[in-house]
Structure 1
């Protein structure tokens, strides 16, 4: 059966319901539910740029174009009619079955004009019904009735007969719903055929109605308008959420499009997005060309700049930055020529984002910043968004300004101000930008050393805004939760959280690679903590971090890529490859400086360099670097980095014999670090504090190396020495507990050796031997677990 342009059996049933409404057969209490039901199935879906997502239920109604007859039962069953003892469903079915011939179908459409054309005022008003409702021609219901009448007039006889047959088949299940239909439904499918004595099995009856018992074909009951609405809904989800079309839906769409016998350009755009997310560059490229070729054939030249914009995003996503810059430059020129401020502003915003996310690749492709500095670009975009009332772009620009404040180490209150302005705009203008806001707030609280607040915002995104956020924001929220778990030593829970993501997400190549990289980084960190070097070697061959200054390196995600480089440097330092570690740190620092990278990343590089100087026996050089890192961290309010820098300064001071100063520094940050719940950092601070107390226990006060522990000077030790040793043992036990929680095997064994050395210095050889045996046992058990 060929696909109808507009009319279907569902729309005929809706026309019957509209006629009931206009005849005032509906009580006032049921008017709003009935009208809501009719409007939700007749109004065309707005474009994705203008649509504001209200609820998942409303969305499901807006694209449900092939609803069954049971939907009418669900709406009408609970409402009483003006006739005693009967519901609105009884009245509705009565009118449905009174339409018992092809001629009655024509009578229905011939009477539609009466619904939108009230009688002239000059006629006798006494004969007109008092409670009659007339529809305005420009109202949603009036437009629906007028278009239905026009489309039926255009139908040829054969198509009108097919429409009547589909209505008969659609109405058939209601014959058994109520006994009151016994008289109306007894005439069968067609009253004229019954009066003529034509029964099932006769040749004439089989020609007209013999196909009614056939199984539903794919796409039957759909009009071209309905299919366009379904494709528009799929495009809206693909654009706003970034997911792929499920296989079952893809097969259904293919069946619907093929059965229609027409070319739907939206189908090519759906295939473009699906192939793009699947990583199929060739298919996505071809389908994009097909879509805009059909658009140009219909003289819709407004789509040309959007074709170039999609092309630029597609090229950049596959690493072709030169082609992307050429396409986006043409997009900007075309948008200016056509005075399309929406496309122009979005193009400039995307170009600014790409220059920030991939600076090396954009520079190597010949990009020169056309908007000046990043702050100037954001100011320009914010002004344009305000003038054009592009609230989506304005909200995103405000969040980008907050990100810039965090990245450059500016005022934290200013970043909060930008975020609150964006939040106010989201609520006031119904902008669905909650995911980006929640992720940014999570980042801010993580930098302030409040991980439980960062955790809460990620969980809030996943629990409350899951249906309003793109899939990449949901994946980033899960990834951030996983990294917060790994900080406290819950590596297995972190990996489980990443692996428990919906398997359909892995159908997208980009998201699959992101999840694999996150899981690999967490496993790599866990293997380093467990001193599981074979696993580290295997993971390195899998992850393969490229040199940061390599021009062809295209990181999937800049943040995760930095974590990978940081873990690789940690691996080199743990294995004792100090020369390679220093080379990697220098290259990473140079790359971050060239890219004007995030201040947090640059501070972490300083901390790695200072720790490396300390380990190679050059604490003086490390002191200056650590002091610089602490100063920058304090100004930018990077609290975890500040605590780590102060702990590193305390450790360096221990090596220089300044135990009192080291103790004061460590004691000053330990209470705040405990709120951060980073067991690795807390254990390190406790270890440095224990070393400081052991240094204070030495009455000679001689400088010691950072790897040795000072001891009391024989039996002449006073009460102060004993108290310092007791505090040192207390903090050693706490450090050991934290290292055990974080899975740091070498650190836990180091604390056991410190306990053995203290026992031996006291002269208790038995206790020292016991601690040494515990050291060996813990190491062997840890290696078995790691292996």
Structure 2
């Protein structure tokens, strides 16, 4: 579309549709080779149907791209025949004749063959009849403008082939050029733009805003969908005022023209908008009004969706929502029945997935959880609902990670990012990428985690709310790294930033809480860490939050009774990582009371499961406790200090066995860049190398130098730990 030309807006007809009528003439004249007629017919059906294309925005270059490879009987291509037909239209009178003769040319029985060229009930026939009716309804000046626009449209071929110059009519030079579009196609373009913005979660680029403004300036009426586009644009840009005003304009317009049947959808959009801008009380009011209105209007689709949205909102924001009138299970069962009654397969899929998430959070039976996930996956596959794959894969990754099979959980997150990223909602993409990055942090792969987040930075920037999720996870990763590096100034700055983050999800908030408890514990503020842990635990129980997180919040208490209770609860719910963490805590307690043989027996059975969890901190702790248990079980240090006579080979063998485990523990904590833990293990190694004698002098000296280097690193980090990453 030329930026210097005047725009012509028509209701239906446009130059490209005149060209399509000419192309139908070419098809019906039997000039196309028999082997290629089906290919041309498929193009005609696609263009006349118009569901996937805005034909009025086509240029001759688009026709050329599709028709140049379709051969004619006597040589040349279908595009050449189209140009000949177009240049036969030498005046406005010829244009009128082309459209006025549609009935006689296509729908009347031919004297030669006794058949009609086009059935009036076919897609092509419907397009021809509508073109005829719309042209008859046009005023004379509108027909003149259509002819001017057609002349401009055809001028693309002036330098394309010699036939253009031979047939170029003088009348074409009499008019100024006009670009044109049909209002029907513009409406389709707006609807496509809405669908794209909703799916991708993005705002409009500046060039698109300028194009839309130019189209609207020349249109004879303003489509209501433009207000919805502006609402989405303001929403994605974080402009609450613009989004709110345009949402009201859109539904004021639709209610005026559609007898107020869209009022409940206005309220539903308002609820979602309020929730995204953290106006939670207003969101609750809006969704409750939506449910009332949808029930009054007997709009089951809107009612079921609203109930589903309210259910998820209550799970995410339990403090802001009034207590539900029924239990979670009753709500889910009600939604199942209603979704099945109304044939809403997509809602059935969402309900099954919600049921699985609810059971995961409450520690439900693993078999039932897997069954619900598979039912949801079947529903998605039955209607090819690719948009729901992201939510499904996220739940599956969480499920397998809770069972202690982290590599399978990572398989789902990586598989989604590789295969389904382009066809899924941008929010799902960002959430899964953040989860994948945070999983890498547990393995000590900070740089890889930050690289995963960097790869989706442009995607996350499409929406303010989604960008806040991305920034929160990036800051959290930096926070955990700074804690383990003991860069305390940086830790304090990042902690303040995390506490001031708006719109933090509940899962991320709990991860932040755990990290802050770890921070205060490492700083020696154990009383504050214990207080925070108790507060978070009481809050999570009151809000009925995730059972796994409730178990983890018991960690600072260091209580054997509580740990056994955690193991009992986690075992019933198949929460393997929580069991393994509690086991490591119990082993630490047993080592402190010198029950070393029990520690060796426990860890010998559980280390394979800990390896599957792919948690470097947990595995390093298990190896370290094993090394201490080997030393304690053999009384090696006491024997050496007390000068007891022991078999030298036996002592050396035990010590070397302990050294191997200590080195494994050091390697895991080195991945995490955990200076404090590395120092503890390095000190143990130095003592062990001192015991084994002069044969390991080099190893002892190297360990001593390593110990000094770590102490210097910790001292420097604590003294000058400035914020190095923004």
Query: Given the two structures, how large is their TM-score scaled by the length of structure 1?
Result: 0.86
Moved more, 720-729 or 350-359: 720-729
In structure 2, do the counterparts of structure 1 residues 635 and 67 end up closer, same or farther at CA, with 3 Å as the change threshold? same
Shift of 1:639: 2.0
1:537-552 alignment, distance < 5 Å = 537-544=492-499
Unmatched runs of 5 consecutive residues or more in structure 1? 46-60, 120-124, 191-199, 547-553, 614-621, 700-707
Alignment of 1:369-518 (within 5 A): 369-370=324-325, 372-432=326-386, 433-503=388-458, 505-518=460-473
Superposed displacement of residue 783, structure 1:
5.8
Deviations 1:200-239 (A, max 9, x none): 6xxxx3xxx1x13xxx7xxx32221121111101111222
1:625 equivalent in alignment to 2:562:
yes
Provide closer, same or farther for how the CA distance between residues 638 and 320 of structure 1 changes in structure 2, counting only shifts above 3 A.
same
CA distance in 1, matches of 2:352, 2:685: 54
Cα shift readout 1:95-145 (whole Å, capped 9, x = no counterpart): 1111111111011111222366343xxxxx7x24367532233x3222222
- CA shift, 1:39, in A, is 3.9
Distance between the aligned counterparts of 2:269 and 2:542, measured in 1?
29
In the alignment, the residues of structure 2 paired with residue 750 and residue 95 of structure 1 have an alpha-carbon distance, to the nearest angstrom, of 87
Q: Give CA-to-partner distance per residue, 1:701-744, whole Å, 9 cap, x none.
A: xxxxxxx9996753412455443322111111111111111211
Query: What does residue 92 of structure 1 align with?
Result: 82
1:225 aligned to which of 184, 187, 191: 184
Which residue in 2 is equivalent to 1:616?
none
Displacement after TM superposition at 1:352 (Å): 0.4
Which of residues 136, 159, 169 is equivalent to 2:120? 136
Contact 1:271–1:284 under 8 Å retained in 2? yes
Question: d(CA) in 2 for partners of 1:591 and 1:500?
Answer: 35
2:525 aligns to what?
A: 577
Matched, 1:644 2:581: yes
The 8 Å contact of residues 76 and 89 in structure 1, kept in 2 or not, is answered as yes
User: CA separation in 1, counterparts of 2:38 and 2:364?
Assistant: 53
Q: Is the contact between residue 22 and residue 115 of structure 1 (CA under 8 Å) also seen in structure 2? A: no
Q: Distance in 1 between matches of 2:685 and 2:566?
A: 32
Give 1:638 shift.
2.0
Aligned match of 1:102: 92
- 1:752 is displaced (CA, Å) by 0.9
Offset at residue 290 of structure 1 (A): 0.6
Deviation, 1:450, is 2.6
Bigger mean CA deviation after superposition, 710-719 or 335-344: 710-719
Deviations 1:332-364 (A, max 9, x none): 1211121110000001000101000110121xx
Helix, strand or coil for the counterpart of 2:535?
A: helix
Q: Check whether the contact 1:24–1:133 (CA below 8 A) recurs between aligned residues.
A: no
Displacement of 1:782 in angstroms is 5.8
C-alpha change, 1:717 and 1:115, in structure 2 (3 Å) is farther
Shift of 1:526: 0.2
- Alignment match of 2:614 (pick from 677, 681, 687): 677
Q: Is the 8 A contact 1:640 1:673 kept in 2?
A: yes
Give the direction of change, closer, same or farther, for the CA distance of 1:770–1:652 in structure 2 (3 Å limit).
same
Provide the C-alpha distance between the structure 1 equivalents of 2:381 and 2:500, rounded to a whole number of angstroms. 42
Distance 1:27 1:380 in 2: 60
Q: Any gaps of 5 or more consecutive residues in structure 2? A: 1-6
SS in 1 for 2:421: coil
The alignment yields a C-alpha RMSD, in angstroms, of 2.4
User: What is the alpha-carbon distance in structure 2 between the residues aligned to residue 81 and residue 244 of structure 1?
Assistant: 46
Q: Is the 8 A contact 2:231 2:247 kept in 1?
A: yes
Are residues 1:304 and 2:260 paired? no
In structure 1, the partner of 2:645 is 716
Alignment counterpart, residue 740 of structure 1, candidates 662, 667, 670? 670
Q: 1:535 aligns with which of 486, 490, 501?
A: 490
Q: 1:609 aligns with which of 545, 556, 560?
A: 556
2:3 aligns to what?
A: none
What CA distance in whole angstroms lies between the structure 2 residues aligned with 1:302 and 1:601? 44
Q: CA deviation at 1:429?
A: 1.7
The Cα of 1:402 is off from its aligned counterpart by: 1.3
Residue 285 (structure 1) aligned with residue 255 (structure 2): no
Deviation of 1:445 after TM superposition, in Å, equals 2.0
1:80 maps onto 2:71 in alignment: yes
Q: Superposition pairs for residues 38-437 of structure 1, below 5 Å?
A: 38-45=44-51, 61-63=52-54, 65-82=56-73, 84-114=74-104, 117-119=107-109, 127-129=111-113, 132-137=116-121, 139-181=122-164, 183-185=166-168, 187-189=169-171, 205=174, 209=175, 211-212=176-177, 220-362=179-321, 367-370=322-325, 372-432=326-386, 433-437=388-392
| TM-score, scaled relative to structure 2 | 0.93
**In the alignment, which of 3, 8, 16 is matched to residue 22 of structure 2?**
16
Q: How many Å apart are 1:520 and its aligned residue?
A: 0.7
> What are the Cα deviations for residues 386-438 of structure 1, in whole angstroms up to 9, with x where unaligned?
11111111111111111122112122222222222222222222223111111
For residues 491 and 34 of structure 1, do their structure 2 counterparts lie closer, same or farther at Cα, with a shift above 3 Å needed?
same
**Structure possessing the higher relative contact order (Cα contacts under 8 Å, 6 or more residues apart):** 2
Q: 1:239 to 1:28 in 2, by over 3 A?
A: farther
Offset of residue 504 of structure 1: 5.7
State how far apart, in whole Å, the 2-side matches of 1:98 and 1:754 are.
95
Q: Measure, in 1, the Cα distance between the counterparts of 2:210 and 2:370.
A: 47
CA distance in 2: counterparts of 1:129 and 1:779, whole angstroms: 99
Structure 1 residue 535: Cα displacement = 0.7
8 Å contact from structure 2 (residues 107, 116) kept in 1: no
Is residue 264–residue 293 contact of structure 2 (8 Å, CA) maintained in 1? yes
Q: Distance in 1 between matches of 2:46 and 2:547?
A: 50
Secondary structure, aligned partner of 1:301: coil
Once the two structures are superposed, residues 166-197 of structure 1 have per-residue CA deviations (whole angstroms, 9 ceiling, x without a partner) of: 11111112233334455433x4445xxxxxxx
Q: C-alpha distance in 1, partners of 2:402/2:46?
A: 46
Secondary structure, in 3 states, of the residue corresponding to 1:221? strand
Q: Structure 1 residues 270 and 246, CA, compared in 2 at 3 Å: closer, same or farther?
A: same
Distance in 2 between residues matched to 1:410 and 1:28, nearest whole Å: 64
Query: For structure 1, which segment, 171-180 or 648-657, has the greater mean C-alpha deviation from structure 2 after superposition?
Result: 171-180
1:12 and 1:730, CA in 2 relative to 1: closer, same or farther beyond 3 A?
same
Query: Aligned residue pairs: how many?
Result: 709
The 1:447/1:65 distance shift into structure 2, 3 A limit, reads farther
